[in-house]
Structure 1
């Protein structure tokens, strides 16, 4: 029976994590650019959970 190449599998997992991190960073950068263009009417969403981000208001 052939042995499993664990190094190959680990490298593939690492590459997938890197790709996902780059994709997330790219989306975050695009969102930041669009927000600066005046699309501030939509509520901010928490990217990890897809829910509205909790914004604290300081009653001063």
Structure 2
């Protein structure tokens, strides 16, 4: 029976890991170049960026020391 070649297995694992990382970076760069509106409903104030830019955020007034 042949002895297991652990060096070969390790190298294959490293290559697979490197390939997966490159694919992830490529996908991330692709999303950055052409963002899609997955999960965003147009007109929804919570997810619509345009509505957030037009309306200032509401901040509750804080009580002051004088009253």
What TM-score, normalized to structure 2?
A: 0.55
d(CA) in 2 for partners of 1:4 and 1:59? 65
Rg larger in structure: 2
Q: Which runs of 4+ in 1 moved over 6 A?
A: none
- Aligned residue pairs total 44
Gaps of 5+ in 1: 45-54
What TM-score, normalized to structure 1?
A: 0.61
d(CA) in 2 for partners of 1:9 and 1:23? 21
Show the counterpart of 1:29: 29
Gaps of 5+ in 2: 41-46, 48-56, 60-67
Alignment RMSD: 2.3
User: Shift of residue 59 of structure 1?
Assistant: 5.5
d(CA) in 2 for partners of 1:42 and 1:3? 51
